[in-house]
Amino acid sequence: MTITEIVTAFSNGQFEQTYPYMSDNIEWTIIEENKFLGKKAVLQNCVLVGAYFKSVTTYFNILNTLTDNNIVAIIGTAEFLRDNKRLSFISACDVYEFDDNKQLVRITSYCIQKQTL
């Protein structure tokens, strides 16, 4: 997989496809929420998030992908529904950083949840 394919899979919740490309020392920071240090911690969070994604209907929409050498940013949205009712709508930007061996070393996620009235 190319680095763009790797990050597209991750941003679309297809985490398992990205596992072979994660560095043992990977860091995943979800701004204002959490930070996961090391591959084991990142994989554990991927399993939890993936289980949530499977429990709801998800719609991911990638609006833009920006690439500069070993850094890729994906801007998009995610909508989560259950029983045809919206649970949440997220606008997000994920910034992915790779080393020279195409191993994912850092993910920084910015997620803004639309407030419902």
CATH number for the domain including 83?
Answer: 3.10.450.50
In a domain, 13, yes or no: no
7 pLDDT more than 70: yes
Instruction: Determine the residue type at 49.
Output: V
In a domain, 84, yes or no: yes
Q: What is the pLDDT of residues 27-82, one digit of tens each?
A: 999 999 999 999 999 999 999 999 999 999 999 999 999 999 999 999 999 999 99
In a domain, 52, yes or no: yes
101: left (phi over 0), alpha (psi -120 to 50) or beta: alpha
Q: Report pTM.
A: 0.92
83 pLDDT more than 70: yes
Q: From 95, 88, 20, select the one nearest 57 (Cα to Cα).
A: 88
